[in-house]
Amino acid sequence: MKTHQYDVVVVGAGGAGLMAALYASRRARTAVISKLYPTRSHTGAAQGGIGAALGNMEEDHPEWHTYDTVKGSDYLGDQDAIEFMCYQAPEIVYELEHMGLPFSRTPEGLIAQRPFGGHTNNVTGKPVRRACYAADRTGHMILQTLYQQGIKHGLTFFDEFQMLDLIMVNGRAAGVVALEIATGEIHIFHAKAVILATGGWGRVWEITSNAFTLSGDGAAIVLRKGLPLQDMEFYQFHPTGIYKLGILITEGVRGEGGVLINDKGERFMDRYAPTVKDLASRDVVSRAIYIEIREGRGINGQRYVYLDVRPETVNKYAALDGRTRPDGSPYVVTAEELLAKLPDIIDFCRTYLGIDPVTEPIPVQPTAHYAMGGIPTNIKAEVLADEKGTVVPGLYAAGETACVSVHGANRLGTNSLLDIVVFGKQAGIHAAEYAQGADFEPLPADAADFARSQLEAIRNSKGNERIADIAAEMKRVMMDHVGVFRTEEGMQQALEKIRELKARFKHLHIDDRGKIFNTELLTAWELSNLLDLAEVTTVSALARKESRGAHSREDYPKRDDQNWLKHTLAWMRENGQIELRYKPVVITKYQPKERVY
Amino acid sequence: MQVTLKIFRYNPETDKKPHYETYKVEAEPTDRVLDLLEKVKGEQDGTLTFRRSCAHGVCGSDAMRINGMNRLACKVLVKDLGTDHITIEPLLGLPTVKDLVVDMEPFFEHYRSVKPFFINNDPPPQKERLQSPEERARFDDTTKCILCAACTTSCPSFWLDGQYVGPAAIVNAHRFIFDSRDQGAEERLKILADQFGVFRCHTIFNCTLACPREIQITKAIGEVRKAIATGRLD
Ligand SMILES: Cc1cc2nc3c(=O)[nH]c(=O)nc-3n(C[C@H](O)[C@H](O)[C@H](O)COP(=O)(O)OP(=O)(O)OC[C@H]3O[C@@H](n4cnc5c(N)ncnc54)[C@H](O)[C@@H]3O)c2cc1C
Ligand code: FES
C-alpha cells in the first residue's frame, strides 16, 4: 500500500474537477485522481453550449438568466446560488476564451450564441440567444482546454486511479482511498481538503445519454459515510435521445429550428407550450413526447417521435413562428449551414442510424440525462452535513455530483457546463484556502480496510448472479417506474426490485479474480453504487407527493408549494434504512408562480 | 445473426504469452462492436478486458484493431464490417497491459512534448479576444482530436521508432500553431523540426484513414512542414 500526501486532492477530472484543480493548485499542493484519463470524462460529450448573458447577438442580462433558471427549476432552485452563478457567467466564459477555448464566432469575431430551451427575453417571452457554443462540441472544447491548462501549469495527475472510499477523521475529510487500476494496488491519499467532482449516474436507467462509467461513485461514497444526498428524486430526462441508443441529440438542434413531429405529422409542441413550443424546458418536452406516444401518436405506434431538422421543415415553421435573424431578416437555413453548426449530430445519425438528418427526420425518445440532485453544498462548494447547513470541514463537491442547488427540480440546458466551471472554481479557491489554515489529521491505521473489504467481498464472491443481469433489471425497472412519469404503485414495485437486486448482489458470479486491470471487479463495485443511488432516488420520489419539474407523479399531478416547496435530504443509516428530512428553499426575489412556456 | 469474435488475450498474471480466444455471440447488424465486447464480458467471460466510456465515439477510450484496422469499437457497427467474423486486437506500437488495454503513457508523453496549450502573453482584454469566423475555421479540423491514439498507432514510422512524436501530437500542435490568437507557433515549430518531429512522416496516410473524427491528419502534418520550411503560417 502506498501513501501520498497533498494539501488538496481533487477526485474527478471532468470540467468541474479540472477547474477546481487549476484554482486549488495556485495556492496549495494539489493532486487530481481520475478513474479515466481526464480527456475521456463525460464533459467531453456535452454538445450544445454554455449559458452566459453576453448579449453578443441581441439584448440579454444576467438578471434574465437568473429568472429563467429559477423558473426552469420549478422554483426549487436556491435563488442566491442561481443569481451568483448567472452573474459569474459572462466573466467565466471570457476566462475560458482567454485560456484558448475555440468558440464559434459571429461575423464580428465575437463568441457566437444560440437559443436553448427555457432561455428567454424576459420582456417578450421569446427565446434568446444565450448559449455560447463551439459547433456541437462545446463540452469537448471545454474539457480539452482545461486539460491543456492543466499541462501548462504542471498539475499532478493520477490517471486511472479509482477512488473507493473517503477518509473521515473527527468529522473532517482527511483523504481518499484509491485503487491504481493498472496494478490493482491500493493507495492512500492523505489530504487536508478533498474535492469530489465525480459526475453523474445516468447508468441507473436503461436509456441514457451517459457514459458507461457514470456510476455516481462520489455520491454513493458520501452516502455510505453517513452524509446526506439532496433532491435525488429530481433526475432529468432529455427529450431527444436517439431511439433505443439514448445517444444525445442536443437541444441546439431545436435551437437551430428543428421541430418535434408525431405520427400524424403534427408539430405537437404547439399544444403543450404555445409560446416557446419546441424550446420549452426539458421536463415539459419529455412529458409531451411520453403523452404523444401513450396516446398512440408515436411514429408507427412505436415508442418514438421524429425530430425534424430538414431545411424545408425548419424554414416552414420558422416562417410560421415569424422567426428572424439578428438583423431582422427572415430566418432561413440551408443544409450547408446545418452541417457547419451540427457536424457531430449529423455524424452520429449517419453512423448509428444510417440516416442523414438533412434529408430524413431523426427518431428520438427521452433519455436519462442529468442529476439535479447530489451532494449538498453551499455557494463555496462546501459539503453540508444536515438540514441546518452545517459544513463538513475539508470536504468540497462540485459539478454534476453536487447539488448547490442551482437546478432545483429541472435544469435548463447550458446551465451544467456553467455550473461545473463556476462551482469547480469556487471549490478550488475555498479548498486551497481551507488547506492553508489547516493541519493534516492523523490517518487511522485502518483507513483502507473498508474499501479493501468491499473489493474482497466481490472478488471472492461465489454465487451465480451475473453483474450484467442485475444491472439490466435495475435499469429496466427504473426506466419503467422511476422515469418521466411516476406513480405510488410503480415506484413501490421498483423499490422492492432494487432491494431484491441488492440482496442478489451478494451472490455474484465473478470470473476475474486478478489484480491487474480488473474491470470486472470495478464494474461490480460501480453497480453497487448505482443500486444505492437507485434506492435513494426511489425513496425520495415516493415521499414527494406532488409534481414539480422532472418529478412528475400521475397520482399527484399538481405542484404543491404549501407542503413541498422544500429540498429533500436523504441519509442511509447503518441498518440500511433511508431517512428523509427537509430544508427550505432559498427565495430572494422571485415568488413561486405557475410555470407556463 | 451469429457473429464469431476472435479476440487477442493476454493476462500478465497468468499467461506466459498472448493467445486468441474465440467467442460466438448473437448480434443485430446495427450493434456496435463495443456492444459485442460487452456481451462477451457480461454473459460469457468476465475476464475479457478493454477500456470504454462514452459509447458514441467522443471520448477516445476504445481504439483497437478491428479486422486489422484501427477503429473505435463503439463507432463500428457489425454491418459496416461486411463479415460475421471479427478479429479484435490491441493497438500496435504501445505495450499491452492486458487483453485489449495498452499502456497510453508513451502516447501522452509525446502529446505533452509539443506544448499543446494556448500561449499568449499579452494581458487579456476585458471581454473575448476577437477572431473572425475565417480565422476560427483555419484550425477547426484539428480541434476535433479526442486523443484516442488510433492515428499514431497506425503509423509505420511510429512502429519503427517510438521516439517519433507521431501524428496525434502534430495534430494538437497544429491546433495552436494556426490559431490566430496564439503566440507559441515558433516554439512548437522548433520542437517539430527536431529529428523525431514532422520529417519522420512519409505521407503513408494510415493516420488519416484511421482517424475516427475524420481529421485530415496528413494535410495538417503537411501544413506544419510547410510552416517550418517557409517560416510562414499562411
Ligand atoms: C451527451 C451530453 C450532452 C450534454 N450537453 C450539455 C450542454 O450542451 N450544456 C450543458 O450545460 N450541459 C450539458 N450536459 C451536461 C454536462 O455535460 C455534465 O453535467 C457535466 O459535464 C458534468 O461534468 P463533471 O465535471 O461534473 O463530471 P464528468 O465530466 O462526468 O467527470 C467525472 C469525472 O470523475 C471521475 N470519476 C468518477 N468516479 C471516480 C472515482 N470513483 N474515482 C476517480 N475518479 C472518478 C471521472 O474519471 C471523470 O474524470 C451534457 C451531458 C451529456 C451526457
Ligand atoms: S467509448 Fe468513448 S470513444 Fe468509444
Q: Under an 8 A CB cutoff, do B132 and A141 touch?
A: no
Tell me the CA–centroid distance for residue B182 and ligand 2, in Å. Answer: 30
Question: Residue B234's pLDDT is what?
Answer: 76
* d(CA B73, ligand 2 centre) in Å: 7
At the top level of CATH, the class of B2-102 is: alpha beta
Q: A458 and A260 in contact (C-beta within 8 Å)?
A: no
Element (H, E) at A376: strand A375-376
**Stretch(es) of chain B classified as CATH 1.10.1060.10:** 105-230
**Along the 234 residues of chain B, how does pLDDT read in single tens digits?**
999 999 999 999 999 999 999 999 999 999 999 999 999 999 999 999 999 999 999 999 999 999 999 999 999 999 999 999 999 999 999 999 999 999 999 999 999 999 999 999 999 999 999 999 999 999 999 999 999 999 999 999 999 999 999 999 999 999 999 999 999 999 999 999 998 999 999 999 999 999 999 999 999 999 999 999 998 887
Task: Judge: B46–A467 Cβ closer than 8 Å, yes or no.
Answer: yes
- Bridge-based pairing of strands A50-51 and A235-242 is unpaired
Spatial distance between the Cα atoms of A349 and A339, rounded to a whole number of angstroms: 12
Q: What does the block give as the cell for A436?
A: 492553508
Q: Which burial class, exposed, middle or buried, applies to A306 when counting CB atoms under 10 A from its CB (0-12, 13-18, 19+)? A: buried
> What is d(CA B214, CA B201) in angstroms, rounded to the nearest whole number?
18
User: What are the per-10-residue average pLDDT scores of chain A (597 residues)?
Assistant: 97 98 98 98 96 97 98 97 98 98 97 94 94 96 98 98 97 98 98 98 98 98 98 97 95 94 97 93 94 95 96 97 89 93 93 95 97 98 98 98 98 97 98 97 96 97 96 97 97 98 97 97 98 98 98 97 98 95 98 90
Question: From the CB of A163, is ligand 1 less than 6 Å away?
Answer: yes
CB neighbour burial string for A512-530, b if at least 16 within 10 angstroms, e if fewer: bebebbbbbbbbbbbbbbb
Indicate yes or no: CB of A516 within 8 angstroms of CB of B182: no
CA distance A405 to B94: 44
- What confidence tens digit (pLDDT) does each residue in A1-47 have? 899 999 999 999 999 999 999 999 999 999 999 999 999 999 999 99
Asked about A282 being catalytic, the answer comes back as yes
Chain A hits for B143, Cβ within 8 Å = 102, 134, 137, 141, 144
| All CATH 3.10.20.30 domain ranges in chain B, comma separated | 2-102
- Topology given in CATH for the domain delimited by B105-230: Fumarate Reductase Iron-sulfur Protein; Chain B, domain 2 (1.10.1060)
- Closest approach of chain B CAs to the CA of A433, in angstroms? 26
Residue B155 C-alpha cell reads as 503509423
